[in-house]
Amino acid sequence: MSNIITVSREFGSGGREVGKRLADELGYAYYDREILEEIAKETNMSEWYVENVLEKGVPRSTVLHFGRSFSYYSPVTQQAINLLVAERNVIKVLAAKGDCVIVGRGANTVLTEEHSFNIFVYADMESKVARCRARASEDEKLTDKELEKKIKQIDSARAKSQEMVANFKWGDKRGYHLCVNTSGMSIKQMIPALAAYAKQWLEG
């Protein structure tokens, strides 16, 4: 069975960096944008469109039960559900290939039966704004208040996506094996300890 680590994260918390550095440290495959690329190939849609639809998700009143027919939903909702099903299938296929770290995309809920080690990365707002600011392109002119609004909007969308497929709230510590606070921390320096923790859990 593959050793699988999933990384869920607040926007701006550095979760993507945690995932990539952790994969490099352990010698695991790393999947992030690759999932969107595979979904786009399967559905013959652009990556941008796939990502946009998946971020918006389906109406909160919609309860998903994978494996059943969704033909009675509206075309827009139906398309979102089809993409969620494609996303789920892609994640399953990638996880079956071997040891890996998967960032985002609700992989922690998709891979429950695969006994993945699930990490949640978070940080205080000041640290998230600072990290976003440090990585922003030169032509991005958002104020701190605008960045905070963007961060809250993205995190809200991620929380809604989680609610559609899981029985615990996004960010609830009971849904993860390890919660990591990156506020004011050097992610690079944290990785050896995180890798050791993950290896012990996976080998246990």
pLDDT tens digits, residue range 20-61?
A: 999 999 999 999 988 888 888 888 887 777 777 777 655 444
* Distances, alpha carbon 145 to alpha carbons 20, 55, 129, 132, in Å: 29, 22, 9, 12
Residue spans per domain, the chain: 4-203
C-beta neighbour count of 65 within 10 angstroms: 8
Using the predicted structure, report yes or no on whether residue 140 has a pLDDT greater than 80. Answer: no
pLDDT in the model for residue 110 = 87
Question: Environment class of residue 88 by beta-carbon count within 10 Å: exposed (0-12), middle (13-18) or buried (19+)?
Answer: buried
Q: What is the fold of 4-203?
A: Rossmann fold (3.40.50)
CB 40 within 8 A of CB 46: yes
**Per-residue pLDDT tens digits for 142-186:** 888 999 999 998 888 888 777 766 778 888 888 899 999 999 999
Give the chain's mean pLDDT: 84
